[in-house]
Structures are given as C-alpha cells and as structure tokens.
C-alpha cells in the first residue's frame, strides 16, 4: 500500500506542475482534464499523507522498543496499538478510494422518469421523483434542463426526460435506475385507503457522437405538433420530433425545445445515451454471470426502493438500508443514501479483486 500511495503522490505533484505549464494553460480542454484528474486524486492524497505519517510513527516507535529507555518503551507500548488500528482503517479507506476509476462516472446524465402501475397516483409520484432529483441537483450545483415532458391533468407526469450537467453527475445518480414504489393514500382517494403505485427511473450517461456511431440510414424521423396537458397545442408548427432507431426499435420523442432543429438535436442526444446505456447493460449482465452486483445489475425492471408515507420510511432493497428521513429525501437530501450505495458498490468491487 505504501508504494501505491507514493505513486499517487508523485502523480499528484506531476499534475500540479502541469497546471503551471504555459503550453498546457493555453489549451482549455487540457486544463479541464488535468484539473478534473487532480481533484479526483485529492482525497487519496489526503488519506495517503495521513497513512505515511502513521507508518513513520510506527517505525519510530518500533525503533524505541529496541532501545534501552524503559520509560519511552512504556509509552510506545501504549501508543502502538492505536497507531496499528489507525493504519488498518486508513488502508481500508485507501483501498476503496484507489479502486479503478470509471470514466463514465464523470459524464453528464439524462434521466427518464415514467409513471408505472397506479394510474394518476403513479403520475403524481413520478412528478415527486422529478422534484426530488432536481432539488438534489440544485444542492449539488448541477444544471437541469427538461428535454421532454408529458403531463396529466392533475399535475402528474406520465413521462419526463431531463438532462443533468455537472461534475461527476453520473457517478452519483447511476444508482437511481430501477422501479421506485410508493405506498400512501393518494390525493385522488376519498375513502382513505392506502395504495401502492410505482414509477420507473432510467439514468443514462450522456453520450457524445464519438461514443456511439448512429447512421442516418438507421433512423426514421417524424415531425408533429407539440402538445401539452389535455391535448392543448403548445405551438402551431410541426416542431416536435420522433426518432425511431430501426435496428433496435428504440423510439425517442422531444417537443420541449422551441424549434424543430433543437428538438432533433436533443432527441439525438437521448438516443445516443440510450444506445450507450444498452451496451453498458449488456456488459453488466455479462459480468453478473461472474459475480452478483447488488447496486448495478443493469436490470431496470428490478424494484429498488419503497417510499412508505404512513411510516415516513424509505427502504432501499438492494442494500437493506432503511431511513425515516422521507420528507428530507423527497426534498432532495439524497447525500446519505447515495453514500450508502456507493459504499456497498465499493465493498463488492473489493471482494471481487
């Protein structure tokens, strides 16, 4: 571990020096990439410095034990167990921090939320999930933009597709893909009975043209008039776009932008991201044959979480984690839950090494 830490420290120093190089500073793309890599190494450097300091103290204490100063020996014998315990803890933390970095985690994200079983109540829950993620993004300093929205008469969402841009977005949101179940008394229920409804969430890493090769001959593109809730026309021109990817049958619609050109660009972005996600799911399923993954199986049909309003409880079924902070989480405070999922994912990867 000491050699690995030393290597990271040297890499960090190298990146720091690069950011003072005039030639590199002249290229903003290089500056951004180097700064991003340097920020990723910062927590490793911090823990690494602590570990090297502890290791040095342990060496010094062991040297004292081989000496003749009995008083110092007595003090060292008390100190060594604490240092060894701190060393073990730091090494465990560094093992998690030094797991191979997935560059996909750095990508921007497209989130698709769709109402599932439960009719109007499912649509209302889908709008609650949309608010939860946008509030979470707001807290993190990310930027959200709606790409497609299909509302119901009561303010629910049959479907909403939106992009999230910011640092490390996909790495934080990727655990949200799956079926979210809600148990509560719906606003539409007059007898006060508890209902169970569901909505599906798909979190896609935003794909660039270089990530996915899509040929024009593989596309069927239709235009139509954009419409809002209740069928009311948003505009009178055929600016909405529907793109069908013929080889896979994937269909993407976009009507939220002001022009046909912008809607097409947004729809292509969603299509590429879905195609990239399909490829990732295929790889994830292949890996799942070798090891079972708790938090990223690539199976979006899996029920991942239950929101129980009568008990004020949220349970994530993948890691058997329950919290009674339902209101805070629905208001976007997802940090603790996300950290629990990241920790479970890291522990799995460590076991697989």
Characterize the bridge pairing of strands 219-224 and 109-115.
unpaired
Contact assessment for residue 337 and residue 317, using Cβ atoms and an 8 Å cutoff? no
Return the closest-CA partner of residue 334 out of 123, 102, 163, 140.
Answer: 140
What angle do helix axes 335-352 and 70-97 make, rounded to 10 degrees? 100
The pLDDT of residue 155 is above 90 = no
Contact assessment for residue 173 and residue 203, using Cβ atoms and an 8 Å cutoff? yes
Residue 298: pLDDT band (50, 70, 90) is: very low
Question: Rounded mean pLDDT of the chain?
Answer: 86
pLDDT number for residue 74: 87
**E-assigned strand segments in the chain:** 109-115, 143-151, 157-165, 178-184, 195-205, 219-224, 240-245, 250-254, 303-308, 313-316, 321-323
Residue 305: pLDDT band (50, 70, 90) is: very high
pLDDT number for residue 131: 97
Burial level of 291, CB count in 10 A (0-12/13-18/19+)?
exposed
- Mean pLDDT lowest among 11-25, 119-133, 151-165, 182-196: 182-196
Burial level of 249, CB count in 10 A (0-12/13-18/19+)?
exposed
| Edge-to-edge strands, sheet with 303-308 | 143-151, 157-165, 109-115, 195-205, 178-184, 303-308, 313-316, 321-323
- Mean pLDDT lowest among 76-90, 187-201, 320-334: 187-201
pLDDT number for residue 104: 85
Q: What CA–CA distances, in Å, run from 304 to 55, 186, 195, 321?
A: 42, 21, 18, 11
The pLDDT of residue 296 is above 90 = no
Q: Range(s) for CATH 1.20.58 in the chain?
A: 2-97
The pLDDT of residue 290 is above 50 = no
Q: What CA–CA distances, in Å, run from 201 to 84, 116, 179, 186?
A: 45, 10, 6, 20
Residue 2: pLDDT band (50, 70, 90) is: confident
What's 177's DSSP letter? -
Give the residue-averaged pLDDT of 237-264. 84
pLDDT number for residue 240: 86
Return the closest-CA partner of residue 109 out of 40, 161, 35.
Answer: 161
Characterize the bridge pairing of strands 303-308 and 313-316.
antiparallel
What is the CATH class of 103-352? alpha beta
pLDDT number for residue 352: 73
pLDDT number for residue 294: 46
In whole angstroms, give the CA distance from residue 246 to residue 253: 15
In whole angstroms, give the CA distance from residue 323 to residue 314: 5
> Of the spans 194-198, 225-229, 234-238, which averages the highest pLDDT?
194-198
In whole angstroms, give the CA distance from residue 100 to residue 96: 9
More confident residue, 168 or 349: 168
Give the residue-averaged pLDDT of 300-315. 89
**Fold annotation for 2-97:** Methane Monooxygenase Hydroxylase; Chain G, domain 1 (1.20.58)
pLDDT number for residue 231: 42
- Mean pLDDT lowest among 149-163, 273-287, 327-341: 273-287
Contact assessment for residue 123 and residue 188, using Cβ atoms and an 8 Å cutoff? no
In whole angstroms, give the CA distance from residue 183 to residue 191: 15
The pLDDT of residue 156 is above 60 = yes
223-232 pLDDT, tens digit per residue, is 887 665 444 4
Residue 288: pLDDT band (50, 70, 90) is: low
pLDDT number for residue 190: 66
The pLDDT of residue 80 is above 60 = yes
pLDDT number for residue 136: 97
What angle do helix axes 70-97 and 28-65 make, rounded to 10 degrees? 150
Q: Compute φ and ψ for 185, nearest 5 degrees.
A: -85, 115
Q: Range(s) for CATH 3.30.70.1660 in the chain?
A: 103-352
Residue 128: pLDDT band (50, 70, 90) is: very high
pLDDT number for residue 330: 96
Cβ neighbours of 227 (radius 10 Å): 14
The pLDDT of residue 164 is above 60 = yes
In whole angstroms, give the CA distance from residue 268 to residue 139: 29
The H or E element spanning position 341 is helix 335-352
pLDDT number for residue 195: 87
């Amino acid at each position: 571990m000491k050699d690995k830490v030393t290597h990271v420290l040297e890499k960090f120093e190298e990146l720091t020096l690069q950011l003072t190089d005039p030639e590199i500073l002249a290229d903003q793309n290089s500056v951004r990439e180097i700064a991003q890599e340097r920020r990723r190494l910062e927590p490793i450097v911090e823990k690494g410095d602590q570990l090297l300091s502890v290791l040095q103290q342990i060496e010094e204490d062991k040297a004292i034990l081989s000496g003749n100063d009995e008083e110092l020996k007595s003090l060292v014998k008390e100190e060594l167990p604490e240092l060894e315990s701190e060393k073990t803890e730091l090494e465990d933390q560094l093992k998690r921090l030094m797991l191979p970095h997935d560059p996909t985690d750095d990508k921007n994200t497209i989130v698709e939320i769709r109402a599932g079983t439960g009719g109007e109540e499912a649509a209302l829950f889908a709008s609650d999930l949309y608010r939860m993620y946008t509030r979470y993004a707001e807290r993190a300093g990310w930027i959200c933009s709606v790409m497609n929205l299909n509302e119901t008469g009561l303010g629910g969402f049959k479907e909403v597709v939106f992009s999230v841009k910011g640092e490390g977005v996909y790495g934080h949101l990727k655990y949200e893909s799956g079926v979210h179940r809600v148990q509560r008394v719906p606003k539409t229920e007059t007898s006060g009975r508890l209902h169970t409804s569901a909505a599906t969430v798909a979190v896609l890493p935003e794909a660039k043209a270089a990530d996915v090769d899509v040929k024009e001959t593989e596309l069927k593109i239709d235009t139509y008039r954009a419409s809002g809730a209740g069928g009311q026309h948003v505009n009178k021109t055929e600016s909405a776009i529907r793109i069908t990817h013929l080889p896979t049958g994937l269909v993407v619609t976009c009507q939220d932008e002001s022009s046909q050109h912008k809607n097409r660009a947004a729809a292509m972005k969603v299509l590429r991201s879905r195609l990239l996600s399909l490829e990732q799911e295929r790889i994830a399923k292949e890996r799942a044959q070798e090891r079972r993954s708790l938090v990223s199986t690539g199976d979006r049909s899996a029920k991942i979480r239950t929101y129980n309003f009568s008990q004020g409880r949220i349970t994530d079924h993948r890691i058997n984690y329950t919290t009674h902070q339902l209101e805070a989480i629905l208001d976007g405070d997802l940090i603790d839950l996300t950290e629990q999922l990241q920790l479970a994912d890291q522990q799995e990867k460590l076991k697989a090494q």
